[in-house]
Structure 1
Amino acid sequence: MTITAQKAPDLASGLGSEQRADERIKLRLEGKLFVPAEEITLDCLIVDLSAGGAGIYCAEPPPLNTFVVLYVNGFGRFEGVATRYIKGELGLRFVCKDAKRKRLQEDLDSYVKEGLLGITRLRRFQRSSPRAPIDHFTRTNGSVVPCELIDISLQGVSLRTKVHPPIGEIIEVGATKGWVIRHFDDCIGVQFLQRPIPGAASDVR
């Protein structure tokens, strides 16, 4: 769900100049909020986004200062910390390197001009066929599900499987956790919650 992107007015007059440097873009995008400490995934609505953070709405927001991982539809995955909660809106401050902040700013510029299509054109994580075999994944309830690895990148993986866990469920692929973000006819798309562990694919037995 999207609406025309707009630049949001600066409401952070009480913040330092460094915190105000990232211009917020007003939008409406669906997303997922993962809380590692509780291993729960929440549906959320992103209402503003910048290279430094986001404003979101979710049914059960985590406490302030909680470390979270935000998945924004079309933009990707961002680690951050809950910093404020005002009138139902949870504010997140992203914790990421300058290179990723720069990429996000470029994506936001493209979104303002062309919508999500512009971001698709800027996709940077080249996917490749895996070298090491992965033939199953593990669900939250501990069940092991046979699968076939279609492709993999630093961001995520596509798995061919007859079982489609619900969107948002956390699964383990090798030694790496990820959440299910897409369903296709005979496969699922998984977004990693952390960078894949070297050799994780070959560790799968």
Structure 2
Amino acid sequence: MLNDDPLTQRTTRPLRVYQQMPRFQRVKVSVLGRYMLADRREFPCQVLEMSPGDAVMIAPVAGQVGERVIAYLDSLGRVEGEIIELIDGGFKASLSASPRKRDKLAAQLTWLANKDLLGLPEDRRHERVVPDNRHSTVVLDDGRRYNCKIIDISLSGAAVELAVRPTIGTPCTLGRMRAKIVRHFQDGVGVEFTSAQEMINVVQQNLRVN
């Protein structure tokens, strides 16, 4: 016999979805965008918290638990998923994505969460992107070598996840790019390339480690 009580349906469905989802830690963000419900109606929205697996959105029309939703978010692009819980003024949604998409989204969220610590919004001279190959190495002038992960890069610099914090101004090599340490933040460092590259695909190629 089907349960026709909407309150029971609303509280049991999200638990089932959460059990099937990988666990991700949300970060606080403020990202504007638009979303489309299953009936193709579109509305503006604001994301307050997000992880590679779910998001908390302020939305004028919440939709229904279990309803498919597609969103186009500033700085993050297209994401899609399912509404798993209704909240005051919006909803929580699980996100459907391939492992590669989740990895890219994690890097984008890391950037958004750390951009104030990096102090880069006003300093950006070139657009920053997340490279396809995020794994690289940082080599200091004294020969010490550290594995790292690229958060994002531009023609003039990069933000990298790094276990150590070399002194600001320290020369280094990121992949095959000569650079220097210019900033510290919670999970890594910001580097500035010695000479800016003309094309971003050249930068990405040089970051690859054979």
TM-score for the superposition, normalised by structure 2: 0.46
Larger Rg: 2
TM-score for the superposition, normalised by structure 1: 0.47
Structure number with the higher helix fraction is: 2
